[in-house]
Amino acid sequence: MCADVLTQAPAEEQANPLLEGLRSARLPAPCAVVIFGASGDLTQRKLIPALYALAAEGSLPPGFSIVGAARTEMDDERFRSAMRDAVAEHSRVALHDDVWEGFASGLFAASYDLDRDGGLDALKSKLADVDRDRGSAGNRVFYLSVPPSAVVPLAERLHQAGLCRPEGGGFSRVIVEKPFGRDLDTARELTSRLHEFFAEEQIYRIDHYLGKESVQNLLVFRFANGIFEPLWNRQYIDHVQITVAEAIGVEGRGAYYEEAGALRDIVQNHIMQLMAIVGMEPPSNFEAETVRDEKVKLLRAVRPIHPDDALSHTVRGQYGGGWVDGQEAAAYRDEKAVKPGSLRETFVAMKLDVDNWRWAGTPFYLRAGKRLMKRATEIAIQFRRVPHSPFTGHIATPTGALPPDAMEPNLLILRIQPDEGISLRFSAKVPGQAMRIRSVNMDFLYGSSFLKESPEAYERLLLDCMLGDATLFARADEVEQAWRICTAILDGWRAHPPDTSRFPNYEAGTWGPDEARAFMDRDGRSWHRP
């Protein structure tokens, strides 16, 4: 019905002048989000609470629906009741009976079977019902919240069921969760298999880091402030450090972590994305392809670490027992489902060089680890020292004067989490007759400046996908470039496994192994302490 009214309508009748000037101009077309793995942890903790928050705030259209797909038998009522509990427990937005009623009326369950032809028939007929009753017009988002091994079989079944290709002008998109492969070859294989069923524009690879307000703010910081960009290069920046430190251990996911490790779990995706955003050239506009083109260019310019150099350019670590946040923490090897003699890295540090005009000679030091002293994600931009100090001998320290090169260089810290904010360290004169200089930190905390609650990363990303905006999703070539860098390291590590007797090599609740400190000392630099 709707479609033929539209085809008869001249162009000016397809406009909606009412939307102009409204804050909520970003409203997706009515659609159905199908969540595979609806009984899983991610669905309950993140996806449904995020969709509920969007609904409560009026960011979803009337007729929006969710179909929870599971291999196990599940009816609408049971699904609604389980999701209500999930929202009550995990949503940022309080559960409100009236809002829930409206939201729940668009929640449906469908079971499916991956192992037989026609195993998606029940789901397909449920979607047809939803389209008819709720006006979703064939628009679909498939969220594959299932283990990696189930991703390709599911995509194939969707294809066989004719659900990958949008019908009647609607859209069909698929959201794929990390990990995107285990190395370069498997990532390429995954991409090429997915491309058999979906065009790249239909695939949304989710990295929840990109949905964080603080990460988006990095783009604003870099490209909406004229004062930093002229300094953002090898001439003024000595080096960049990116740290993703976690205080938690493997939290019962020992089996997964034994397969993954810190490099795959954090560096290949989150840290590489942060590095791309910090290092990329200014995009000419904020469209998905333009931004992602710039990110890929940066990743392409990263010099791969030759497997033979892996040991000198990286540090691996694994935590032993210790104390974190005042609690005793078990060693990694004592975690559930971890092999007693495991050599899996829970800490990694590395130095990467970027071979382009902007960054040549300015290294990026990256580190990620579990059971470190505190949870902190931040980017430290260390500027070069002043070329000459006229204040020799006038630097105030508790012990007296120091040589000029001890005057601390400027440091800009972009804190992603927790306590999102920006600090700038600079030198100032200590009041008094003498010329005494001291470093002061100027801290800007978003938390105490904008108390507005930030949306959860998944809210932003789900909404973007429904709107067809892929800017904050990883494209196939980004993923591939990140794997190119990480796979070279993995190859090097495989060729030179760590000495079993040297693992674990750091105590839980510290900043990682001593080798990480020595690694920086060698370059005459030191890790910033978050």
Partner 1 sequence: MTSATLPLRSRHASGLDAASRELHALHREMLIASGEAHGHVRTSVSNLVAACTEPDQASRAAAALLRIGAVHPARAIVILARPDDAKRMEADVSLHGGDASQPTIELVRLEVGGEPSYHLTGIVAPLLIPDMPVYLWVLGAPPLRQAFSADTVELTERIIVDSGAYDDSAATLALIAGEQHRFGDGLHLADLAWERTAPWREMTAQAFDPVGSRPFLRDITTLTVRCAGERASTEAWLLAGWMASRLSWPASGWPRVDVAADGAQAEDDAGALIEVRVEAARDGRTATVHGRRGGDCLHTSVAIEDAASQRTVSLRQQDDATLISRLMADATDASIYAAAVASAVDLSRRAA
Ligand X SMILES: NC(=O)c1ccc[n+]([C@@H]2O[C@H](COP(=O)([O-])OP(=O)(O)OC[C@H]3O[C@@H](n4cnc5c(N)ncnc54)[C@H](OP(=O)(O)O)[C@@H]3O)[C@@H](O)[C@H]2O)c1
Q: Is 513 one of the binding residues for ligand X (CB under 6 A)?
A: no
AA letter at 21 = G
| From 144-152, 377-385, 441-449, 516-524, span contacting ligand X (CB under 6 A) | 144-152
Tell which one of 16, 72, 285, 501 touches ligand X (CB under 6 A).
72
Among 65, 145, 202, 377, binds ligand X (CB under 6 A): 145
CB of 153 to ligand X, least distance (A): 7
Cβ contact 413:528 at 8 Å: yes
The binder of 444, among partner 1, ligand X, none, by C-beta within 5 to 8 A per type, is: partner 1
Burial of 154 (C-beta count, 10 Å sphere; 0-12/13-18/19+): buried
- Which of 430/495 has CB closer to partner 1? 430
Which tokens sit at 226?
């004229």
Nearer to ligand X, 263 or 380 (CB): 263
Residues 484 and 212: their CA atoms lie apart, in Å, by 25
Q: Which stretch binds ligand X (CB under 6 A): 145-153, 164-172, 214-222, 369-377?
A: 145-153
Residue 177 binds ligand X (CB under 6 A): yes
Helix, coil or strand: residue 303: coil
What is the DSSP pairing of strand 65-70 with strand 172-176? unpaired
Give whichever of 132 and 388 is closer to partner 1, judged by the CB atom: 132
Residue 371 three-state SS: coil
Q: Residues, the chain, total?
A: 530
Q: Which residues, at least 6 apart from 241, have a Cβ–Cβ distance to it below 8 Å? A: 364, 365, 366, 367, 379, 380, 382, 527, 528
Question: What does the block give as tokens for 4?
Answer: 């033929």
- Which residues would be at the binding site for partner 1 (CB under 8 A)? 1-3, 5-6, 8-9, 13-24, 27, 29-30, 55-58, 60-64, 93, 96, 98-99, 101-103, 105, 132-135, 137, 440-445, 448-452
For the question of residue 270 being annotated catalytic, the response is: yes
60 binds, among ligand X, partner 1, none (CB under 5 to 8 A by kind): partner 1
Gap between the Cα atoms of 257 and 332, Å rounded: 10
Distance in Å, CB of 413 to partner 1, minimum: 14
Q: Is 191 a residue that touches ligand X (CB under 6 A)?
A: no
Nearest to 366 by CA among 209, 519, 212: 519
Least Å distance, CB 322 to ligand X, is: 25
Closest contact distance (angstroms) between CB of 143 and ligand X is 9
Q: Which among 432, 260, 289 is positioned nearest to 348, based on CA atoms? A: 260
Cα distances from 429 to residues 223, 374, 395, 444, in angstroms, run 31, 33, 9, 21
Q: Binding ligand X by CB under 6 A: which of 178, 333, 370, 475?
A: 178
Site for ligand X contains 468 (CB under 6 A): no
**Should residue 42 be labelled a site residue for ligand X when binding is judged by CB under 6 A?**
yes
Of 63 and 369, CB closest to partner 1: 63
Give the whole-angstrom CA distance, residue 134 versus residue 308: 59
Query: Does 370 engage in binding with ligand X (CB under 6 A)?
Result: no
- For residues 288-320, one letter each, b for 16 or more C-beta atoms within 10 angstroms of the residue's C-beta and e for the rest, the string is beebbbbbbebbbbbeebebeebbebbbbbbbb
Residue 150 touches which of ligand X, partner 1, none (Cβ within 5-8 Å per kind): ligand X
CA 380 from centre of chain: 18
From the list 208, 239, 270, 313, the catalytic residue is 270
Q: Which of 99, 150, 422, 467 binds ligand X (CB under 6 A)?
A: 150
Of 6, 9, 26, 41, the one binding ligand X (CB under 6 A) is: 41
Tell me: does residue 471 bind ligand X (CB under 6 A): no
70 binds, among ligand X, partner 1, none (CB under 5 to 8 A by kind): ligand X
Is 423 within 8 Å of 413 (Cβ atoms)? yes
Q: How many whole angstroms separate alpha carbon 74 and alpha carbon 69?
A: 9
Total binding residues for ligand X by CB under 6 A? Answer: 17
At its nearest, how many Å lie between ligand X and the CB of residue 254?
Answer: 14
- Choice between 30 and 37, CB closer to ligand X: 37
Which residues are at the interface with ligand X (CB under 6 A)? 37, 39-42, 70-72, 114, 145-150, 177-178
Give catalytic residue positions.
Answer: 270
